[in-house]
């Protein structure tokens, strides 16, 4: 079995469905997937719709409703309690879960997750991809030793329990978490210093890679080859930032793939309807950017 953990409230549950649909579509053996959705609560009609996505491919989905324990005094930020639930995933998952892949819900899978699942952790608790936008990586000769993006993580769950990751992360948030832009991610980076393994950026392709390669960013120069590979052959596309692929103003070159997989769920997204939500001026500005968007999209080789 390949165990996948997602965390979402009702707002993001429909996008969790996109993650599941794309993961299943890109696996030759989708029946090996076992999904766990941690949630502070969903509308009654939502879990059956989510299960339909998984079960139509022979996979399993368990929806686990919970509230973060011991979260008093913690500023959860704009992500709400769902962002904290993933820190305590070890409390809610079955005892036979020893290794898991955690996935955010603002991404789309374009490769076989079995390849990520079988990655050796080399004694580390977590494997993840460097966050290209975080200033802690600026000027570092080895940026992969800096700050990771927690939207995609391969986790040794037994080590997660043994290292008391949740407790230590919550303590950090109580003492230092006020005003953090990414509270749960910052807490994980604090706890996981020297205990995470860098993954290829193909496993968490972030749009900053386009500009990094086109402009040869100095602080990322040692990794430009890896970023070029991620542009050509991303395995997981992460739509980081405030503008998501379901927003009318999205300019991400790979948005069409997210919309395509959304169409395979109970919550399809009409691309043309999205455009009509924009004012004529914003539509005009978006049209001017289409050549660059298409140029970037054509750099990606899709199977």
Residue-level pLDDT at 139: 39
pLDDT of 144 > 50? The answer is no
Residue-level pLDDT at 176: 77
Residue 195: CA count within 13 A, CB half-sphere = 15
**Token pair in block for residue 11:** 């707002």
Judge whether 152 and 7 are in contact, CB under 8 Å. Answer: no
Angle (CA) 135-136-137 rounded to 5° is 85
Judge whether 33 and 54 are in contact, CB under 8 Å. Answer: yes
Question: What is the per-residue pLDDT across 37-74, written as a single tens digit (0 to 9) for each?
Answer: 999 999 999 999 999 999 999 999 999 999 877 656 56
Question: What is the per-residue pLDDT across 82-115, written as a single tens digit (0 to 9) for each?
Answer: 778 999 999 999 999 999 999 999 999 999 999 9
Nearest to 198 by CA among 239, 241, 260, 140: 140
Nearest to 68 by CA among 77, 76, 78: 76
Residue-level pLDDT at 302: 59
Quote the CATH superfamily of domain 2-245+258-270: Spore Coat Polysaccharide Biosynthesis Protein SpsA; Chain A (3.90.550.10)
**For the purposes of burial, counting CB atoms within 10 Å of the CB of 289, is it exposed (0-12), middle (13-18) or buried (19 or more)?**
exposed
* Higher-confidence position of 132 and 118: 118
Residue-level pLDDT at 72: 60
User: Which strand (E) or helix (H) includes residue 214?
Assistant: helix 208-214
Question: What is the per-residue pLDDT across 207-246, written as a single tens digit (0 to 9) for each?
Answer: 888 888 777 777 777 788 888 889 999 999 999 988 999 9
Nearest to 208 by CA among 249, 271, 262, 253: 253
Residue-level pLDDT at 138: 39
For the chain, the C-alpha Rg in angstroms (whole number) is 19
**Token pair in block for residue 92:** 């809610």
Q: Is 108 helix (H, G, I), strand (E, B) or coil?
A: strand
Residue-level pLDDT at 140: 38
Distance CA 185, CA 86 (A): 10
Whose tokens are 């992360």? That residue is: 169
Residue-level pLDDT at 142: 38
Whose tokens are 């769950």? That residue is: 157
Judge whether 151 and 182 are in contact, CB under 8 Å. Answer: no
Residue-level pLDDT at 100: 98
Rounded to an integer, the average pLDDT of 160-172 is 93
Please spell the DSSP secondary structure of 178-211, one letter per residue: TT-SSHHHHHHHHHTTT-EEEPPGGGGB-THHHH
Residue-level pLDDT at 143: 40
Distance CA 35, CA 61 (A): 5
pLDDT of 7 > 90? The answer is yes
Whose tokens are 């955690």? That residue is: 102
Question: What is the per-residue pLDDT across 169-205, written as a single tens digit (0 to 9) for each?
Answer: 988 888 876 767 788 888 899 999 989 999 999 999 9
Pairing of strands 126-130, 196-198: parallel
**For the purposes of burial, counting CB atoms within 10 Å of the CB of 238, is it exposed (0-12), middle (13-18) or buried (19 or more)?**
buried
Question: What is the per-residue pLDDT across 245-298, written as a single tens digit (0 to 9) for each?
Answer: 999 999 899 999 999 999 999 999 998 888 888 787 777 777 777 887 777 787
Q: Where are the domains of the chain?
A: 2-245+258-270
Rounded to an integer, the average pLDDT of 2-23 is 98
Q: What are phi and psi of 10, to 5 degrees?
A: -60, -35
Q: What are phi and psi of 101, to 5 degrees?
A: -105, 120
Pairing of strands 126-130, 148-156: antiparallel
pTM of the model: 0.90
- Roughly what angle, to the nearest 10 degrees, separates helices 255-262 and 10-25? 100
């Amino acid at each position: 079995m390949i165990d996948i953990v997602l965390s979402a409230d009702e707002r993001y549950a429909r996008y969790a469905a996109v993650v599941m649909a794309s993961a299943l579509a890109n696996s030759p053996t989708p029946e090996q997937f076992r999904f766990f959705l941690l949630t502070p609560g969903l509308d009654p009609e939502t879990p059956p719709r989510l299960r339909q996505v998984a079960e139509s491919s022979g996979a399993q989905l368990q929806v686990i409703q919970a509230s973060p324990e011991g979260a008093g005094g913690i500023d959860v930020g704009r992500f709400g309690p769902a962002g904290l639930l993933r820190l305590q995933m070890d409390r809610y998952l079955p005892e036979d879960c020893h290794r898991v892949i955690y996935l955010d819900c603002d991404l789309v899978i374009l490769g076989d997750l079995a390849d990520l699942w079988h990655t050796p952790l080399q004694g580390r608790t977590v494997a993840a991809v460097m966050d290209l936008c975080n200033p802690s990586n600026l000027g570092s000769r080895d940026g992969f030793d800096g700050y990771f993006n927690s939207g995609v993580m391969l986790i040794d769950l037994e080590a997660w329990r043994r290292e008391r990751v949740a407790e230590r992360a919550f303590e950090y948030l109580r003492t230092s978490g006020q005003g953090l832009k990414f509270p749960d991610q910052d807490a994980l980076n604090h706890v996981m210093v020297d205990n995470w393994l860098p993954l290829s950026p193909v496993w968490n392709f972030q749009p900053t890679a386009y500009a990094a390669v086109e402009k040869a960013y100095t602080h990322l120069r040692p990794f430009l080859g890896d970023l070029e590979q991620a542009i050509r052959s991303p395995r997981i596309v992460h739509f980081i930032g405030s503008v998501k692929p379901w927003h009318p103003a999205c300019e991400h070159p790979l948005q069409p793939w997210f919309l395509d997989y959304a169409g395979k769920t109970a919550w399809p997204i009409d691309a043309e309807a999205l455009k009509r939500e924009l004012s004529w001026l914003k539509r005009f500005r978006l049209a001017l950017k289409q050549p660059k968007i298409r140029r970037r999209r054509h750099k990606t080789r899709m199977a």
